[in-house]
Amino acid sequence: MIDNPNIPQAVRAVAADGTQLRYALMEMAREMEDIITLGRGDPDLPTPPHIIEAANRAMRDGLTGATHVKGMPSLRQAIAEHMRAVNGLALEADNVMVTTGGQEGLFLAVQAVINPGDEILVPDPRYSSYDDAIKRAGGRMVMVPTERDDAFNLEAEAVEAAITPATKALLIVTPSNPTAGIVTEDRLRAIAEVAIRHNLIVIVDEIYGKIVYPPWRHFSIGALPGMAERVITLDAFSKAYAMTGWRCGYVAAPADVIDAMARIKQVTTGPVATVSQWAGLAALTGPQDCVGEYLDIYIQRRAVLLAGLDRMGFAYGEPRGGLFVWADSSSTGIHAAELSYLLLKEGRVLIFPGTAFGEQWRDYVRITMLEPIETLSAAVERMLPVLERYRI
């Protein structure tokens, strides 16, 4: 609990629990007016028109019947071809399953390969939904540290140091939520050698793979020699194509892993909504200009947000990909939970404290760039006087 009389008891009581604190702040925000939301990670840009038209056409033509639990054959084939061309993965349609968003893909993958007592290595900090998937499989997370001065890149030496006889798998998230760091190609090559040497399964979440800021670039570990048989790659249409609410993701993996995941999906959620699958097919096979256009928008927003954080005196890891900045509030002299509350209460800007992404990240906040440039600039102007008022 933080000890500050300026902070309501209800907020202080949940400050150590990042998830509860996040919901407490969101509940506060719902009761306030004129809030700028820089907390949640859903893209604010519109789904491209050709994708919406594909869904409309499917509904008009009656193409709405349930598909195979693994997904429409045409979509699975398109995903395989896309990932061969873009990611360099040696895939066929049998190596692909369509999922109800990327989050279900992660859940199914973990249930399919993790047994009770297995350890899975997870970069720290991490998106907390991973915790639930691993816990429900009976697995145990072992955290692998990353550092701000290294832009939260993942080191092969740190991965290998965390391996025990119980280690079954490694989770890689690149670009990362919440850090916006990427795992660079040189590091992935070294990590692949570790995975082969210790016979590890590698689950790699690449949902932000199309949102990488030059000169950095995305690289898929599954494209490396000897990795195809041990890598499970997760992706979705939600971020790059602004399709969060369509709930359409996909997993690429060895065919036996896909079969195991399909057996779980068959008795839980069943096949993905058919209309969403037609939309996903249009996303992959239609014009790709929207991906570059949206990236250009995020590049401009990133520049504005980083300039504002520099003015406010924040330190942060270089955001090389994704839609966030992972900023160190201790550089302002204000505890992250306290800062999140004060910025909402007095500045009407909602951000999320770092404890939502790992218990020890009490000095960090996650700030999104999912508002127009004018709104981001306004958020900075609201935040500055709050920081000046309470800065130690």
In the chain, how long is the greatest CA-to-CA distance?
63
Asked whether residue 63 is assigned to any structural domain, the reply reads yes
- The whole-angstrom separation of Cα 254 and Cα 81 is 16
Domain end call among 261, 285, 309? 285
- The whole-angstrom separation of Cα 108 and Cα 258 is 9
Cβ–Cβ contacts within 10 Å for residue 374, how many?
9
Query: Does one domain contain both 87 and 191?
Result: yes
Residues pairing with 204 in the sheet: 172, 233
Query: Does one domain contain both 210 and 277?
Result: yes
Domain end call among 253, 285, 317? 285
- The reported pLDDT for the residue numbered 1 is 40
Cβ–Cβ contacts within 10 Å for residue 63, how many?
16
Residue 102, C-beta contacts closer than 8 angstroms, at least 6 positions apart: 205, 207, 234, 235, 236, 238, 249
Asked whether residue 126 is assigned to any structural domain, the reply reads yes
Asked if 142 and 162 touch (Cβ cutoff 8 Å), the reply is yes
Residue with tokens 């991965």: 159
Asked whether residue 177 is assigned to any structural domain, the reply reads yes
Asked if 263 and 312 touch (Cβ cutoff 8 Å), the reply is no
- The reported pLDDT for the residue numbered 275 is 98
Asked if 71 and 250 touch (Cβ cutoff 8 Å), the reply is yes
Query: Does one domain contain both 278 and 304?
Result: no
- The reported pLDDT for the residue numbered 9 is 60
Domain end call among 256, 285, 314? 285
- The whole-angstrom separation of Cα 21 and Cα 170 is 29
Asked whether residue 2 is assigned to any structural domain, the reply reads no
- The reported pLDDT for the residue numbered 355 is 87
Query: Does one domain contain both 296 and 151?
Result: no
Query: Does one domain contain both 208 and 244?
Result: yes
- Residues of the chain with confidence (pLDDT) below 70: 1-19, 392
Query: Does one domain contain both 204 and 319?
Result: no
Asked whether residue 94 is assigned to any structural domain, the reply reads yes
Query: Does one domain contain both 247 and 327?
Result: no
Report helix, strand or coil for 366.
Answer: strand
Cis peptide before 125 (omega within 30 of 0): yes
Which structural domain range is residue 343 located in?
A: 9-45+290-390
- The reported pLDDT for the residue numbered 21 is 81
Q: How many domains does the chain have?
A: 2
Q: What is the pTM of this model?
A: 0.94
Query: Does one domain contain both 26 and 101?
Result: no
Encode pLDDT of 342-362 as tens digits: 999 999 999 999 988 988 899
Query: Does one domain contain both 143 and 206?
Result: yes
Asked if 376 and 305 touch (Cβ cutoff 8 Å), the reply is yes
- The reported pLDDT for the residue numbered 128 is 87
Question: What CATH number is attached to the domain comprising 131?
Answer: 3.40.640.10
Query: Does one domain contain both 188 and 267?
Result: yes
Asked whether residue 38 is assigned to any structural domain, the reply reads yes
- The reported pLDDT for the residue numbered 245 is 95
Query: Does one domain contain both 281 and 306?
Result: no
Question: CA dist 344 to 4, 128, 215, 339, Å?
Answer: 16, 23, 34, 8
List phi, psi (to 5°) of 316: -160, 155
Asked whether residue 238 is assigned to any structural domain, the reply reads yes
Asked whether residue 257 is assigned to any structural domain, the reply reads yes
- The reported pLDDT for the residue numbered 3 is 54
Residue with tokens 């760039």: 369
Query: Does one domain contain both 240 and 91?
Result: yes
Question: What CATH number is attached to the domain comprising 322?
Answer: 3.90.1150.10
